[in-house]
Amino acid sequence: MSTSFDLREAFAAKQKHMLSGLGLMPNFTNHPTAKGDATEERWIRMLSDFLPRRYGVGSVFAIDSYGKQSQQIDVAIYDRQYSPLFFEQGDLTFVPVESIYAIFEAKPELSKDYVEYAREKIASVRSLRRTSVGIRHAGGTYPPQEPTNKPILGGLLATETSWTDIQGKAARKALLTGSQSDRLDFAIAVRDGAVERVGEELVFAPSDQQLIWFAMRLYKRLSMLGTVLALDLDAYGHYIEDVLES
């Protein structure tokens, strides 16, 4: 005989746990109150705990097979199951752009200036060249995937917003600005709300559920992307030949 399971209560408890991981605590009205701002490291830890282990989460530089490099990304979600070629130098991690699922800036607040700054960071990754090769299987070979069919998600993570109303005209204008190269797909101000851009429309989180809503919507988008591109090892590998021949 089956018993009931309160999903609403379970999601509420999960959000409280996630808020605690960000260094924030919900008060009796369920609005987060500060123990401090959610830092880059706390966002990384919280998303790492929430997402399946196939996803790596960390601060990275993205690189491509032409030797180009992005600006440093505060919080990147990347493949850790199929993708080789992770380079580390001290505390710095360099990840092939083909392995990147999503990139986020972590800032104290959601504002027009920080949105513009995040768009610049996002563009520095999306402008890199992504390779793709076919994948062999028992019945033959899957053709290379078109990189444009696997867009790199981008967003801004913050504790609060400088806008009086996150759904107001000024916020909407800033959040809908941008082209395919630099647009934001997600933005969250943990104390004030969360939003996902779907085409030319903005979808907002229900009140008091913004963190769990954001995490669930992000995971849905990641799942829709499937696996990352199979990168062209030869495109990267010719640098090894150059080193050996020099």
Instruction: Break the chain into its structural domains and give their ranges.
Output: 7-133+142-245
The residue annotated as part of the active site, out of 105, 160, 182, 196, is 105
Q: How buried is residue 91: exposed, middle or buried, by Cβ count under 10 Å (0-12/13-18/19+)?
A: exposed
Task: For residue range 215-226, list pLDDT tens digits in order.
Answer: 999 999 999 999
- The whole-angstrom separation of Cα 211 and Cα 198 is 18
Cα–Cα distances (Å) from 184 to 26, 46, 75, 227, in that order, read 27, 21, 14, 21
The residue annotated as part of the active site, out of 64, 79, 98, 107, is 107
pTM of the model: 0.86
The residue annotated as part of the active site, out of 74, 98, 160, 182, is 74
Question: Does 74 participate in catalysis according to the annotation?
Answer: yes
pLDDT tens digits for the chain (246 residues)?
676 666 677 667 777 777 777 776 554 334 444 344 568 999 999 999 999 999 999 999 999 999 999 999 999 999 987 776 678 887 888 999 999 999 999 999 999 999 999 999 999 999 999 998 877 767 667 777 888 899 999 999 999 999 999 999 999 999 999 999 999 999 999 989 999 999 999 999 998 899 999 999 999 999 999 988 888 888 888 766 654 454
Tokens of 94: 């360099």
Whether 73 and 99 have beta carbons less than 8 Å apart is answered as no
Cα-Cα end-to-end distance for the chain: 72
Task: For residue range 36-86, list pLDDT tens digits in order.
Answer: 456 899 999 999 999 999 999 999 999 999 999 999 999 999 998 777 667
- The whole-angstrom separation of Cα 13 and Cα 138 is 45
